[in-house]
Structure 1
Amino acid sequence: MMDQKLHGSEAERLFSGRFAALPTDCGQVCEPGTDEVEAWRDWTDRPTTEDQVRIENVLADLVRPSSRILHVGVGNSGLARRFARPGRTIIGTTISTAELAHGNSLNLPGYAVHALNKYGDTSPPGPAEFDFIVDNNPTAFGCCRTHLLQMLDHYQSRLARDGLILTDRKGLGWVTSAPGANPRWAFSVEDWAQVGGLFGLRIEQLSDTVVALAPPGGRVLRGPLLRRLASRLRQRLAG
């Protein structure tokens, strides 16, 4: 199935056209992806970015007491500090040894951080399915089509039937500042929707900037989120 997504006619048309500037296979096996410059690799002591906060604000209206959350790129573990509760599972991943140590030192209930390269061939640890997968920079450190689709294959295979892969428009459009980084890894929402479509995922707009990839037929706009969006609309109309 994965080979078909990588080399099938639909993927070939998409990547030879819309994503022609992206290499097919980088040849990296052990450490795929493009690493950030050293000054920006460790987010342990840095504040949460505004786009990550927007994702968390949307998540706050969707999360349940028993939710299973995968946070890819834990940074300062602010998401876990905000949402960790007994009965809830939060699995974090990072390639930063400092972020790994910091996250696990917090001893938050149901929270565990693991060293994992999201573009690699190992699926994230944790439960068989996640209700939410948060990755605010899914393409920013990309290296090639093979490893991008491998990452999405892992995400899709671990997503619950009504689960969501959450990201923000700003983070989606960001690219690592590492020398030689390919600027085409800055994705638009439509780019993300096209790649998600290879895995049967549809795009959903959850706020002005936060979007989600979701399985067909899955529930997305649940009551609390609809009420919040309606409230914001009323405020704009009143203003």
Structure 2
Amino acid sequence: MAVSGPALPLFAEETATLGPAPQVPQPVQRNQPDRVVVRVEAQEFVAELADGFKYQFWSFNGTVPGPLVRVRVGDTVEFHLKNAPGNLQPHNIDIHAVNGAKGGAELSTVSPGEEKVFTFKALAPGLYIYHCAAGSIVDHIANGMYGLILVEPEEGLPPVDREYYVMQSEFFTGEATDGVHAFDLMKGLQEHPTHVVFNGRDGALLGTQALKARVGETVRIYFGNIG
């Protein structure tokens, strides 16, 4: 992928549909590249990492992992990154499939209440990680700022009955302050996780949230590992 600041003209424009894991956007139906607008917001919030265990998350679009972004080879992606006004930290996004400017991070650093836009062209098919790379990268990744972007080949992917999005990650938590736990840098540096989870929470894929399929169906799962 190539990256640049100003917008590039193309034939048509569509807004990417984003949803929380394990949801996956619908396959690209187009036979030609378009301009795809992606809007993502950095959000800091408190939620349960496990039952009764509250954690201070940093995230993209209020979910951990962030949404799976789906485009096609040749698409020009207009990426909007907003930092929610109530946040305390600056954030940005480093998309591993983007060449130059640290995957967009140099062009997308935003303070709370700010929004920036950068444009890149999807040149190589594949499944890639994105993450925040502002300040201490370790802190931002450890707190939940990561996700996947899928670049489909020109011919698309073989059809399947169901698709899911699963990402493994680790959390390194310290003692609670006012009932809320936060990232413990020393545990992170020593690689001693207190929680190893799929899709951002203990038990996120169990019970009523389990991935489902019928006998005989074909299932594709997009896996990411940020551990």
Higher helix share: 1
- Asked whether the two chains share a fold, i.e. TM above 0.5, the reply is no
Higher strand share: 2
TM-score, with structure 1 as normaliser: 0.30
Give the TM-score of the pair, scaled to structure 2: 0.31
